[in-house]
Chain A
Amino acid sequence: MANNSDIIIIGGGIIGAATGYYLSRAGCRVRLIEKGYLCSGSTGRCIGGIRQQFTSEGSIKLMLESVGHFSNMKEELGIDVHWHPGGYLFLAHSQEKKEAFLSNISIQQSFGLKDVRWVDAYEAKQVAPGLDAQGLLGGSYCPSDGQAYPFAVVSGYVERIKSYGGSINTFTEVAAILQGGGRVRGVRTAAGAEYQADVVVNAAGPWARDIGQMAGIEVPVEPERHEALITEGVDYLNIPMLVDYRADGGYFQQFRHNGQFIGCYSPVPNVPGHSTDSSYQFLNQMPRRMLKLVPALAPVKVIRQWAGSYENTPDGNPILDRTPLEGFFVAAGMCGHGFMLGPAMGRLAADLILNHGKVPPVAEFALERDYSRQEAMK
């Protein structure tokens, strides 16, 4: 088998798969290289939430586009990805949060997210039946936010890459980036195989910094452990994804397609590093936090817990850019939002690569930027 292709993508998560799909569709010969199985990184560990409620123009517009892709995926990829617009409700228990949400809502509306709105505590209970509204001032609610099933989305993209003639190498670890004549030439694997390509994309999620270092390029992405759990399936309760930003809060939703509740929270203090160990503390805390918001879930049984990595950048925004090494691109650092961003990010990455030198990259996703302006709805 020939060891060369037009484009090599490192990373078999949502970003690598979506980027590979859009490049294949445009006629490129793609090779996707993944050190484990597909989705073995963060993508297979995420909870499948999809929202458009962000605070920067770039992320809001990308998410409007992504939701369009998700809602069309059944037709486009020929696979049911269980897209369901069940909505997202961000809860405000303080005046400060309320004001922040109100100001975010007007920013979001100005960038085209028309159906996001403030709901008071009474209306919050109506859109989220069973919600305990104690101490609640209201929330930021967007009914067109939703959910999908990560394994199906990645599998749909990968099957398309294959049908366009691309190759998938699983259980293949990239160990070096090949360079020559001032540009990228391909990759070498840990087993010593070499693959040639004129373009190499670093879509290695939480490992993006390691891949960057192989080419001598600093990619400021830090892994951070996040735990999650899932319950047995029960009747669908029509509750949107609930997001509680308080220190003892969390986020959880119910899958429309099989009734399972899935949830996680951001630990304080945070847990840096690649660890995917599960803790008993989480198994005690997450149920508490869920029951505080929806007490009626008390008898629902947890069947599994796990952990994965967020891939954080200093300002909470992704990195999508070319690099100083000609032909070497980076699409990583999705800061815990990579699944939802994936479809639009893949489309945008493909555009950037195909129109290299003609269209400028998005400034707020640039590799070398001022990382001090924070995304507020992390």
Chain B
Amino acid sequence: MANNNDKIICRCEDITESEVIEAIGKGATTADEVKRLTRAGMGHCQGRTCRRLINQLLASKLGQSPEDQKPVTQRSPLQPVALKILADS
């Protein structure tokens, strides 16, 4: 788990590099699987900050080339919006 040298990969969900590597060790081969195992990418920014870092880790651990990597499913709303604003829209 987290140690002092561990880098934070997903700031929104507070997920470290070693947690992502652990998920890859459990068999995750895509950013979608890493997201579901660790929550990295499920936070407030919806992965805008951490997705690139996760893909880099997958690439370096599994020898994937960036072209092989499947894009993560994008879900709306792309910016967090208050319930009240949505209800009145």
- B33 beta carbon closer than 8 Å to chain A: yes
Query: Do the beta carbons of B30 and A299 come within 8 Å of each other?
Result: no
Q: A283-B76, A305-B77 are in contact. Are A38 and B36 (CB under 8 A)?
A: yes
- B80 beta carbon closer than 8 Å to chain A: yes
Query: Do the beta carbons of A168 and B80 come within 8 Å of each other?
Result: no
The B interface, classified by DSSP as helix, strand, loop or mixed, is: loop
Query: Do the beta carbons of A302 and B27 come within 8 Å of each other?
Result: no
Query: Do the beta carbons of B32 and A37 come within 8 Å of each other?
Result: yes
Min CB gap B75→A, angstroms? 5
Q: Which of B26, B32, B77, B82 contacts A283 (CB 8 A)?
A: B77
In the assembly, what is the distance between CA of A231 and CA of B84, in Å? 12
Minimum CB distance partner of A39 in chain B: B36
Q: A284-B89, A291-B84, A299-B82 are in contact. Are A304 and B75 (CB under 8 A)?
A: yes
Which A residues lie within 8 Å of B43 (CB)? 303
In the assembly, what is the distance between CA of A290 and CA of B80, in Å? 17
Query: Do the beta carbons of A170 and B27 come within 8 Å of each other?
Result: yes
Within 8 A of A (CB), among B55-75: 75
Query: Do the beta carbons of A298 and B83 come within 8 Å of each other?
Result: yes
Q: How many A-B residue pairs have CB under 8 A?
A: 76
Minimum CB distance partner of A295 in chain B: B84
Which A residues lie within 8 Å of B33 (CB)? 37-38, 170
The A interface, classified by DSSP as helix, strand, loop or mixed, is: mixed
Q: A151-B37, A155-B37, A278-B75 are in contact. Are A232 and B80 (CB under 8 A)?
A: yes
Which A residues lie within 8 Å of B82 (CB)? 298-302
Which A residues lie within 8 Å of B26 (CB)? 155, 159
- B81 beta carbon closer than 8 Å to chain A: yes
- A188 beta carbon closer than 8 Å to chain B: no
Q: Which of A37, A170, A232, A284 contacts B86 (CB 8 A)?
A: A284
Query: Do the beta carbons of B27 and A291 come within 8 Å of each other?
Result: no
Query: Do the beta carbons of B36 and A302 come within 8 Å of each other?
Result: no
Query: Do the beta carbons of B75 and A305 come within 8 Å of each other?
Result: yes
- B16 beta carbon closer than 8 Å to chain A: no
Min CB gap A180→B, angstroms? 32
Query: Do the beta carbons of B30 and A37 come within 8 Å of each other?
Result: yes
In the assembly, what is the distance between CA of A44 and CA of B35, in Å? 11
1/0 per position for A10-30, CB-CB distance to B under 8 A? 000000000000000000000
Query: Do the beta carbons of B44 and A287 come within 8 Å of each other?
Result: no
- A111 beta carbon closer than 8 Å to chain B: no
In the assembly, what is the distance between CA of A232 and CA of B42, in Å? 10
Min CB gap B43→A, angstroms? 8
Which B residues lie within 8 Å of A290 (CB)? 83
Query: Do the beta carbons of A168 and B27 come within 8 Å of each other?
Result: yes
- B87 beta carbon closer than 8 Å to chain A: yes
Minimum CB distance partner of B23 in chain A: A155
Which B residues lie within 8 Å of A155 (CB)? 26, 37
Which A residues lie within 8 Å of B75 (CB)? 278, 304-306
Minimum CB distance partner of B13 in chain A: A258
Min CB gap A47→B, angstroms? 14
In the assembly, what is the distance between CA of A54 and CA of B57, in Å? 46
Q: A37-B33, A37-B36 are in contact. Are A300 and B83 (CB under 8 A)?
A: yes
- A376 beta carbon closer than 8 Å to chain B: no
Which B residues lie within 8 Å of A159 (CB)? 26
Query: Do the beta carbons of B44 and A288 come within 8 Å of each other?
Result: no
Which A residues lie within 8 Å of B80 (CB)? 232, 301-303
Min CB gap B60→A, angstroms? 20
Q: A168-B27, A283-B86 are in contact. Are A301 and B81 (CB under 8 A)?
A: yes
Query: Do the beta carbons of B44 and A302 come within 8 Å of each other?
Result: no
Query: Do the beta carbons of B44 and A232 come within 8 Å of each other?
Result: yes
1/0 per position for A144-164, CB-CB distance to B under 8 A? 000000010001000100000
Which B residues lie within 8 Å of A302 (CB)? 77, 80-83, 86
Of the A-B pairs whose beta carbons lie under 8 Å apart in the complex, a sample of 5, sorted by A's number, is A155-B37, A170-B33, A278-B75, A291-B84, A304-B77
Shortest Cβ-Cβ A-B pairs, 4 listed: A301-B80, A298-B84, A287-B83, A287-B87
